[in-house]
């Protein structure tokens, strides 16, 4: 079982560059999420999606965009990378909105220089 | 406002010692869920347990146990007879029942278990 797959695992960007972090899940989960984890901090929600074609902002959405054209994929786009976006990014999914735990991907470590 | 506090930044123990990780939360909601996640060195977060605010029974799963006390807004996690494989960062999280899409994570406690 692949679960939640994130690519790339590591990336270094220059200030002002753009990139897309990929997230795919093969569990037919409706709900998908993007979190960022800063050093010594807990995870903060960037965006989430409750199904294909539906997305909503989380706690820290500025500087990011998302789309959800299929159930499986939930890419996160950084348009103009800034040093403040240096972080580890986690994608997660769950089958419903009920209070169950997420399935997390292994993370993408992004450094903006 | 929702907030989860894990005051212990890092804990080091010797294998076979018992260790308790503290979690204190703040919420104005009467119904909510609490979670613990483990983040091993590989980086992926692993779900450990969910507890809803209606149920204050303690739970035990092998060497793991959880103590939920609503009166003190705490949801502590104890590992009995710790092992090196328990070394990880552990996160406590809160989710209001009215909005399952919002999770509030603590800053995590790094547990080092030395042989």
pLDDT per position as a tens digit, B50-94: 888 888 778 888 999 999 999 999 999 999 999 999 999 999 999
Please give the structure tokens belonging to residue B100. 């399952």
Q: Distance, in angstroms, between A7 CA and closest chain B CA?
A: 13
Residue B14 belongs to domain with CATH number: 2.60.40.10
Q: How far is A22 from chain B (nearest CA, A)?
A: 16
The first and second tokens of residue B43, run together, are: 């980086």
Half-sphere exposure (Cβ direction) of B19: Cα atoms closer than 13 Å:
23
B115 min Cα distance to partner chain A (Å): 25
Enumerate residues 6+ apart whose C-beta is below 8 A from A40.
B9, B107, B108
Selecting from B101, B104, B108 the residue whose C-beta is nearest the C-beta of A48 gives B101
Give the integer Cα–Cα distance in Å for A87 and B19.
Answer: 29
pLDDT band, very low/low/confident/very high, at A102 (cuts 50, 70, 90)? confident
Of residues A52 and B1, more confidently modeled: A52
Among the partner-chain residues B6, B33, B45, the one whose CB lies closest to the CB of A90 is B45
Model confidence at B108: pLDDT above 60: yes
Domain count, chain B: 1
Mean of the per-residue pLDDT values for chain B?
Answer: 91
Strand A10-13 versus strand A108-112 pairing type: parallel
Residues of A in contact with B107 (CB under 8 A): 40-42
Q: Where are the domains of chain A?
A: 4-96
A40·B9 Cβ contact <8 A: yes
Cα–Cα distance measured from residue A68 to residue A30, given in angstroms and rounded to the nearest whole number? 10
- Position B45 scores a pLDDT of 85
Report the relative pairing of strands A76-78 and A64-66 from DSSP bridges.
Answer: antiparallel
Is A46 in CB contact (< 8 Å) with chain B? no
**Residue of chain B whose alpha carbon sits nearest to that of A56:** B101
CA A25/CA A108 separation, integer angstroms: 15
Token couple for A98: 């009920």
Displacement of CA B25 from its chain's centroid (Å): 11
Give phi and psi for A13, each to the nearest 5.
-120, 150
The yes-or-no verdict on residue A99 having pLDDT over 60 is no
Q: What is the CATH number of domain A4-96?
A: 2.60.40.10
**Tens-place pLDDT, residues B19-28:** 999 999 999 9
Q: What would the pLDDT profile of A34-69 be if each residue is shown by its tens digit?
A: 999 998 788 899 999 999 999 999 989 999 999 999
B52 lies in which domain range?
3-114
Question: What percent of chain A is modeled with pLDDT above 90?
Answer: 77
């Amino acid at each position: 079982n692949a679960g939640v797959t994130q690519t790339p695992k590591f990336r270094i960007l220059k200030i002002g560059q753009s990139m897309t972090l990929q997230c795919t899940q093969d569990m037919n989960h409706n709900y998908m999420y993007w979190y960022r984890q800063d050093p010594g901090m807990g995870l903060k929600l960037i965006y989430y999606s409750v199904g294909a074609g539906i997305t909503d902002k989380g706690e820290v959405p500025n500087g990011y965009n998302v789309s959800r054209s299929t159930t499986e994929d939930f890419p996160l786009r950084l348009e103009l990378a800034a040093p403040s976006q240096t972080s580890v990014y986690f994608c997660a999914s769950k089958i419903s909105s009920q209070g169950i735990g997420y399935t997390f991907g292994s993370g993408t470590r992004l450094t903006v220089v | 406002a929702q907030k989860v506090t894990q005051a212990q930044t890092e804990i080091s123990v010797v294998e076979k010692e018992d260790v308790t990780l503290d979690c204190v939360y703040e919420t104005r909601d009467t119904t909510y869920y609490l979670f613990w996640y483990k983040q091993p060195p590989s980086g992926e977060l692993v779900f450990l347990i969910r507890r809803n605010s209606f149920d204050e029974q303690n739970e035990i799963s092998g060497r793991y146990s959880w103590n939920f006390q609503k009166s003190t807004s705490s949801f502590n996690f104890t590992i009995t007879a710790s092992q090196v494989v328990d070394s990880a960062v552990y996160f406590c999280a809160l989710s209001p029942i009215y909005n399952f899409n919002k999770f509030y994570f603590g800053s995590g406690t790094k547990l080092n278990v030395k042989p």
